[in-house]
Structure 1
Amino acid sequence: MSPVSPSLSHRLDGLRSSAIRDLLTLTERPEVIGLAGGLPDEQLMPRDRIARAAEAALADRSRLQYTQSAGWGPLREVLAARESARLGRAVPIAEVFVTHGSQQALSLLGEVLLDPGALVVVEDPAYVGALQVFRAAGARIASVPLDAEGMRVDLLAELLERGERPAVVHTVSNFHNPRGVTMSARRRAELAGLADRYGFWVIEDDPYGELWFDRPAAEPVATYSPNVIRLSSASKILAPSLRAGWMVAPDRVCRAVELLKQGADLCGSALTQQITADLLADTDWLAAHVNTVRSNYGERAKALVGALRERFGNRIVSTDATGGMFVWASFTDDTDTARSLSRAVEHGVAYVPGSAFAVDSDYRSAMRLCFTTFDAPTLREAVDRLARTFGEERDG
């Protein structure tokens, strides 16, 4: 008699793997210029400075122990000081919670803030990691589009006026992934005002805010309302392997997250949190390091956008990439980027089709391009390969 196979949770119903992660497994050949990923440049990661911080941490064996579920105390102190400066108010340590990357914070918040069937409003196109979290929580998802000033807060207001009551509104306010745009100061204040008026949580997801090229973005949405939970991370300015993310949230949210985190992993890595605290507290070194990253990424973004406009002209409309890691490019002639992807890989270049980020719109003529991991000449070569790809597509 064959054994009866146990079932899996219905929570998995409707979930699917990230199209981007699946795509990367197909395009990681050395001859392919991969613009599909969303990775920081490992050559700019401060390996030697991290090594010194690790050596200092390892000098004390007690540093190898478990730490608090909410994070290593000295790191939370450093983060509270950084976030106080950013928000223009004193952030108490009790409102700072360290997580295994900011994605874990988002996942834990999905459990803390959402009951099955609760409404979540996301931007369209959307950050796929957020969609995975909200779908796993059994949320009902609605979307509002983006334009050059970020989330269309006016359309969110219309949705609220029609009687919809979201539990959560999620936004990537700075240098959006994938759209590349930044929410204007006026819309940030309007979004916070709506959160106060209607009583919903805003999750302000901000992993890219320090990667500005010309000037810093406006004040965080969390500046304007206590109903805003702010997420950030050291992955994009230091190294993803540190897995140091954090949230700034009201104490009652942090304590609820702490209960769930204790059941998930007890605590994060005390060692990497000590390394992160060392680096973030070294303010002069950190400022110089982040300026180097900005300078390199800014040059690469300019090269990519310039090459796209030179080779494609009016056939493509793209963001200017004033910060962050991504350029969003849309064809004006109804080119189907998903259909063209296999041909692009044959030509030695990869991107993410816009449809991978779609919620209610299809974005079939758009693509996301990451400029962080290649120098300017390689990015120009990548655009040459895209031009050959889409030239054949148009001619064919």
Structure 2
Amino acid sequence: MTAPLPPLAGKLAALRSSAIRDLLKLTARAEVISLAGGLPDAELMPRERLAVAADNALRRAGVLQYTESPGWAPLRAVLAERESARLGRTVEVAEVFVTHGSQQALSLLAEVLLDPGALVVVEDPAYVGALQVFRAAGARIVAVPLDAEGMRVDVLKELLARGERPAFVHTVSNFHNPGGVTQSAARRRELAELAAAYGFWVIEDDPYGELWFDRPAPAPVATYAPNVIRLSSASKIISPTLRVGWMVAPDPVCRAVELLKQGADLCGSAFTQQIATELLADETWLNGHVDTVRNAYGERAKALVHALRTTFGDRLRCTDATGGMFVWADFTDGTDTDLLLPRALAAGVAYVPGSAFAVDGGYENSMRLCFTTSDAATLATAVDRLAGAAG
């Protein structure tokens, strides 16, 4: 008789799989046009330039060896220079920490900044990857709604006035995932002022900031206060497979994260970090490459929004995609997007229902649509299929 396996940790009971990752399994069929996954377009990734950088990296001593836990020193120097330009102040190398994608930074920060039961404030609808991390950390999560100008800082102010004291506030300030909106400059400044006044951290999660279409996003929240931790990544502008993300934070936070990273994976990949260093330092090439990505995504975003508004009319409202990778849409006639999804998949189109991003329920009539991996004609076909499924 086989003995039962020992139990797993009790905290796993509060976790659930990402609906988006689960949905990707269903959209692998070639006949399905997927607007579900938040994937950059592989056809726009710079394969030839990556190959050159990889060959150059392999010629260096130590490239196949372990590297420093905070990241390869030349990469941190390049990132410090880039972030200095973004923030309008000198960012020291000691303030830069390289992680295995920005998702690892979120996970390590949750361990550094949260005790079980600590309050975390997130935007609603919320980035699913952040919710998974904060739930695993045993945080108490309170959601603040979004509108066209990003996080409703007035609602946050009301929470603070009632005596709530978050350990940190998490915001995707630029081209929000999934909401598709960008936080206004006034709200960024007000959020930073509240953080300074009430003594909480802000985690500014910014993987999409360079993917603007018509004009750059406002200055980062981190411009206005020292207790803002800024996250970014090379995944959306170069390639996810590099797994190069970074954090800009005060030195004590970086040192605490270093202790935990050593226990998690010792260090990142010297190989991919050296590749990323060469590409990020080559400003002339990088600027041209990112312009190409912006132009392609901008055309696709406008095509998707046009098709949605032309096809559905007043039956559906959607955001104006001014950057990033996503459009958020709301049916105004009560259409339940969870119930619609099986019919949409049968018709050959996929999206992510809004309920996947809800903190405490809701968004049954909403959906997130990703426009990055299809051309304008394919996006128009996807919307026609969606309309057919919706009836």
| TM-score (norm. length: structure 1) | 0.98
Please give the per-residue CA displacement for 1:181-207, whole angstroms capped at 9, x wherever unaligned. 000000000000000011011000000
Cα displacement (A) at 1:5? 2.0
Cα displacement (A) at 1:331? 0.6
Distance 1:357 1:31 in 2: 26
Distance 2:185 2:62 in 1: 45
Which residue does 2:172 correspond to in 1? 172
Distance 2:110 2:241 in 1: 23
Aligned with 2:178: secondary structure? coil
Superposed, which structure 2 residues align to 1:97-246 within 5 Å? Answer: 97-246=97-246
Aligned with 2:70: secondary structure? coil
Aligned with 1:158: secondary structure? helix
Q: Which amino acid aligns with 2:79?
A: L
Please give the per-residue CA displacement for 1:233-291, whole angstroms capped at 9, x wherever unaligned. 00000000000000000000000000000000000000000000000000000000000
Distance 1:30 1:80 in 2: 42
Which residue does 1:50 correspond to in 2? 50
Deviates further, 53-62 or 372-381: 53-62
Which residue does 2:283 correspond to in 1? 283
Deviates further, 335-344 or 2-11: 2-11
Distance 2:362 2:196 in 1: 32
Which residue does 1:314 correspond to in 2? 314
Distance 1:248 1:172 in 2: 15
Which residue does 1:29 correspond to in 2? 29
Cα displacement (A) at 1:13? 1.9
Q: Which amino acid aligns with 2:28?
A: E
Which residue does 1:82 correspond to in 2? 82
The answer as to whether partners of 1:32 and 1:350 remain within 8 angstroms in 2 is: yes
User: Is 1:93 equivalent to 2:93 in the alignment?
Assistant: yes
Q: Which runs of 5+ in 1 are unaligned?
A: 392-396
Distance 1:26 1:385 in 2: 17
The answer as to whether partners of 1:124 and 1:361 remain within 8 angstroms in 2 is: no
Distance 2:60 2:320 in 1: 48
Cα displacement (A) at 1:383? 0.4
Cα displacement (A) at 1:4? 4.2
Which residue does 2:270 correspond to in 1? 270
Distance 1:261 1:166 in 2: 24
Distance 2:20 2:88 in 1: 36
Q: Which amino acid aligns with 1:49?
A: R
Q: Which amino acid aligns with 2:212?
A: W
Distance 1:10 1:228 in 2: 32
Distance 2:319 2:249 in 1: 32
Distance 2:5 2:362 in 1: 38
Aligned with 1:363: secondary structure? coil
Which residue does 1:73 correspond to in 2? 73
Deviates further, 283-292 or 361-370: 361-370
Distance 2:15 2:201 in 1: 24
Cα displacement (A) at 1:92? 0.3
Distance 1:130 1:62 in 2: 34
Q: Which amino acid aligns with 1:24?
A: L
Distance 1:293 1:18 in 2: 27
Distance 1:63 1:200 in 2: 39
Which residue does 1:368 correspond to in 2? 368
Distance 1:123 1:259 in 2: 29
Cα displacement (A) at 1:6? 1.0
Aligned with 2:302: secondary structure? helix
Aligned with 1:278: secondary structure? helix
Aligned with 1:202: secondary structure? strand
Distance 1:291 1:377 in 2: 22
Which residue does 1:257 correspond to in 2? 257
Aligned with 1:64: secondary structure? coil
Which residue does 2:332 correspond to in 1? 332
Q: Which amino acid aligns with 1:33?
A: I
Cα displacement (A) at 1:27? 1.6
Q: Which amino acid aligns with 1:100?
A: H
Cα displacement (A) at 1:168? 1.0
Q: Which amino acid aligns with 1:351?
A: Y
The answer as to whether partners of 1:118 and 1:140 remain within 8 angstroms in 2 is: yes
Q: Which amino acid aligns with 2:352?
A: V
Cα displacement (A) at 1:361? 4.6
Cα displacement (A) at 1:61? 3.8
Aligned with 2:115: secondary structure? coil
Please give the per-residue CA displacement for 1:361-386, whole angstroms capped at 9, x wherever unaligned. 51011110000000000000000101
The answer as to whether partners of 1:124 and 1:360 remain within 8 angstroms in 2 is: no
Please give the per-residue CA displacement for 1:2-33, whole angstroms capped at 9, x wherever unaligned. 32421111221210000100011112100000
Percent pairwise identity: 76
User: Is 1:301 equivalent to 2:301 in the alignment?
Assistant: yes
The answer as to whether partners of 1:117 and 1:139 remain within 8 angstroms in 2 is: yes
Aligned with 2:367: secondary structure? strand
User: Is 1:62 equivalent to 2:62 in the alignment?
Assistant: yes
Q: Give the count of matched residue pairs.
A: 391
Aligned with 1:13: secondary structure? helix
